[in-house]
Amino acid sequence: MSDPAIPPAVTEDEAALCTPFVKCLVRLIRAQDSYGSWERKADAELLGDFIITKEQRRAIPIIGDPDPDVLWRLDKYYAAIGLAIEERCGLMASPMIQVSHEGFGRVLFTTGRLVVLSKTLRDVHRFGFETLLKLATAGTKLVDDGIAVIEAFPHVALA
């Protein structure tokens, strides 16, 4: 640690934490903290359960039922995407998530009469991202996709 430069892993995480999408996600998670028990936790720590390394992923059975914790994270992830879309364009994109007990399903974001995002879900019991940056990139991509659809059909989003 004699190197004065910040280790690359830290800068990558920091970059991820600065994205509007991850900020929305952290905000949503902190909003659930009614008793302030997570107040001293850093943002990266709060998002810790969203990170599943390759080794951890390998340890999870291929077929499995999603537990309530992973469904909670899935819910927060998509809620944050909706929130980030609203922040960018001022229109609320409300998600509707349907997951079977086997972890297959669908998520649909609508704004007015417009389907902003539609995504098939599978392997929900293994929902997670290798790094914070991958979480940020995946979420930001969905936000960008949603915004692009709203920009393509603005009159339907307002209908």
Three-class SS state of 159:
coil
The stretches of the chain forming alpha helices (DSSP H) are 8-17, 20-31, 43-46, 54-59, 68-89, 132-152, 154-157
Is there binding between residue 122 and a second copy (CB under 8 A)? no
Q: How far is the CB of 118 from a second copy (least distance, A)?
A: 7
Task: Tell me the window of 16-24, 45-53, 55-63, 111-119 that interacts with a second copy (CB under 8 A).
Answer: 111-119
Nearer to a second copy, 104 or 153 (CB): 153
Q: Which of 98, 95, 103, 101 has its CA nearest to residue 78?
A: 95
* CA separation for the pair 60, 43 (Å, rounded): 25
Q: How far is the CB of 116 from a second copy (least distance, A)?
A: 8
Task: Tell me the window of 23-31, 60-68, 110-118, 138-146 that interacts with a second copy (CB under 8 A).
Answer: 110-118
* CA separation for the pair 97, 111 (Å, rounded): 15
Is there binding between residue 112 and a second copy (CB under 8 A)? yes
Tokens representing 89 are: 């364009």
Is there binding between residue 16 and a second copy (CB under 8 A)? no
For binding to a second copy (CB under 8 A), which residues are involved?
96, 98, 106, 108, 110, 112-115, 118, 149, 153, 156, 159
